[in-house]
């Protein structure tokens, strides 16, 4: 039985729900009003990422029913994703203290890792590492960082959606070409849900994702990457390579701000993509460049890792090296010039 039609339904439902969320946001005055720390110039409705959340969580139910995802993956995604989306939705409507948000993030991450069974074995330069409980703790930190970095990187029109679509569909290609096509459904449906939203968010954006959507996407991508590691260590490396643009920019920026002694939860515009969007005067060139880097550079390397025995650590180093140069070139983490 073919389930391909389900992908088109997910795109359509996400598109319609995003439109409904835009009307809701306008009616409730949930507007992102530009300020000195913003990367946009016009008031724009926010919270459209709720459409991604609802569509994907609803889509997981038939996936479970038809045996296209395991009960463990269903529990990890549904439980962790719902909690993160609720926290983000509440923060979009008001303000939740950072310590309580972070506590919720760790609870959601621990829930997901419990159902996934911890951190899978990692293959580094031909050596397989089983980290046990230390690995589980590391996996929790990884998920918390993924959901927060996705929030940090959702700062210009379309960038978070393009990154998620490229990573999800790229991962599906890795699965299919490595003989694991039965595992494509969760990333395929997540990518479809994001594609429906992206129709509204592509530059110039008619609605923003909001914390509910960005945090949800971050932890879902993290969960799916770890789940892939249980299928094959090389697939985990492939996911990490595919998500390289966001991982490198966010991590490079965070480290430079930490070294300088900045308050890391304070709003800022010092990511490389933000400096780049100001240099070009538009969001579109930067968003398109992210897509091109993903498809033209990161995806081929990920394919070499999963299909042609390129060591994952070496592939990651190869993939990330020019991204680090770009982060430095576009001044990621530097102090902003006065407006």
pLDDT digits (tens, 9 = 90+) for 260-295: 888 777 778 899 999 999 999 999 999 999 999 999
Question: Is residue 219 within 8 Å of 146, Cβ to Cβ?
Answer: yes
Cβ neighbour number for residue 128 with a 10 Å cutoff: 9
- Most confident of the ranges 76-80, 87-91, 333-337: 76-80
Predicted confidence band of residue 9 (pLDDT cuts 50, 70, 90): very high
pLDDT digits (tens, 9 = 90+) for 309-339: 899 999 999 999 999 999 999 999 998 764 4
Give the largest CA-CA distance in the chain.
59
Q: The tokens of 47 are what? A: 């919270």
Q: Is residue 265 part of a domain?
A: no
Q: Is 211 annotated as a binding residue?
A: yes
Distance CA 40, CA 53 (A): 24
Q: Is residue 329 part of a domain?
A: no
**Residue-wise DSSP of 166-208:** HHHHHHHHHHHHTT-GGG-HHHHHHHHHHHHHHHHHSSSPSS-
Question: How far, rounded to the nearest angstrom, does the alpha carbon of residue 51 sit from its chain's CA centroid?
Answer: 15
Residue 37 pLDDT > 90: no
Residue with tokens 């939705």: 89
* Nearest CA among 265, 246, 264 for reference residue 255: 264
Distance CA 226, CA 237 (A): 10
Q: Is residue 282 part of a domain?
A: no
Q: Is residue 280 part of a domain?
A: no
Asked if the peptide bond before residue 224 counts as cis, ω within 30 degrees of 0, the response is no
Q: Mean per-residue pLDDT for 104-122?
A: 95
* Nearest CA among 191, 213, 156 for reference residue 21: 213
Residue with tokens 């998500």: 243
For the chain, what is the domain count? 1
Q: Is residue 110 part of a domain?
A: yes
Q: Is residue 83 part of a domain?
A: yes
Radius of gyration of the chain (CA): 19
Q: Is residue 308 part of a domain?
A: no
pLDDT digits (tens, 9 = 90+) for 123-163: 888 788 888 889 999 999 999 999 999 999 998 999 999 99
Helices (H), 263-311: 272-280, 284-293, 299-307
Q: Mean per-residue pLDDT for 36-63?
A: 86
pLDDT digits (tens, 9 = 90+) for 205-251: 999 999 999 999 999 999 999 999 999 999 999 999 999 999 999 99
CA atoms within 13 A of residue 265's CA, in its CB half-sphere = 9
Q: What is the pLDDT of residue 140?
A: 97
Which phi and psi angles does 317 have, rounded to 5°?
A: -60, -45
Distance CA 68, CA 184 (A): 9
Angle at 282 between CA 281 and CA 286, to 5 degrees: 115
Q: Is 294 annotated as a binding residue?
A: no
Angle at 146 between CA 105 and CA 244, to 5 degrees: 180
Q: What is the 3-state secondary structure (H, E, C) of 140-160?
A: HHHHHHHHHHHHHHCCCCCHH
Q: Is residue 256 part of a domain?
A: no
**Residue-wise DSSP of 251-283:** HHHHHHHHHHT--TTS----SHHHHHHHHHT-S
Which phi and psi angles does 128 have, rounded to 5°?
A: -90, 125
pLDDT digits (tens, 9 = 90+) for 169-181: 999 999 999 999 9
Structural domain including 211 reads: 4-246
* Nearest CA among 166, 227, 174 for reference residue 191: 166
Residue 39 pLDDT > 70: no
Pairing verdict, β 44-45 and 31-32: antiparallel
Distance CA 283, CA 218 (A): 21
Residue 34 pLDDT > 70: no
The DSSP output letter for 334 is: P
């Amino acid at each position: 039985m073919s389930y391909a039609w389900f992908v088109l339904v997910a795109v359509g439902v996400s598109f319609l729900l995003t439109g409904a969320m835009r009307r809701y946001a306008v009616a409730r005055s949930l507007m992102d009003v530009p300020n000195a720390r913003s990367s946009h110039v016009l008031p724009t409705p926010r919270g459209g990422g709720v459409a991604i959340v609802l569509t994907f969580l609803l889509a997981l139910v038939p996936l479970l029913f038809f045996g296209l995802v395991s009960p463990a993956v269903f529990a990890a995604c549904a439980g962790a994703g719902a909690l993160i989306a609720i926290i983000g939705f509440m923060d979009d409507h008001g303000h939740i203290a950072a310590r309580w948000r972070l506590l919720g993030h760790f609870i959601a991450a621990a829930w997901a890792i419990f159902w996934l069974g911890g951190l899978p074995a990692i293959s580094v330069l031909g050596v397989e590492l089983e980290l046990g409980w230390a690995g589980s703790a590391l996996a929790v930190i990884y998920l918390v960082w993924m959901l927060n970095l996705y929030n940090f990187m959702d700062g210009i029109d379309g960038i978070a959606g393009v990154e998620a679509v490229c990573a999800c569909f790229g991962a599906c290609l890795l699965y299919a070409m490595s003989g694991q096509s039965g595992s494509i459904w969760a990333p395929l449906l997540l990518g479809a849900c994001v594609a429906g939203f992206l129709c509204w968010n592509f530059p110039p954006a008619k609605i923003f994702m909001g914390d509910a959507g960005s945090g949800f996407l971050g932890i879902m991508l993290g969960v799916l990457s770890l789940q892939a590691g249980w299928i094959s260590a090389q697939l985990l490396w492939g996911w990490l390579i595919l998500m390289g643009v966001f991982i490198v920019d966010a991590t490079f920026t965070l480290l430079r701000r930490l070294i300088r002694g900045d308050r890391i939860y304070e709003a800022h515009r010092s990511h490389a993509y933000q400096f780049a969007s100001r240099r070009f005067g538009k969001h579109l060139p930067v968003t398109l460049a992210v897509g091109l880097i993903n498809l033209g550079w990161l995806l081929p390397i990920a394919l070499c890792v999963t299909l042609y025995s390129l060591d994952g650590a070496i592939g990651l180093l190869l993939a990330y090296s020019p991204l680090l140069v770009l982060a430095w070139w576009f001044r990621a983490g530097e102090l902003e010039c006065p407006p």
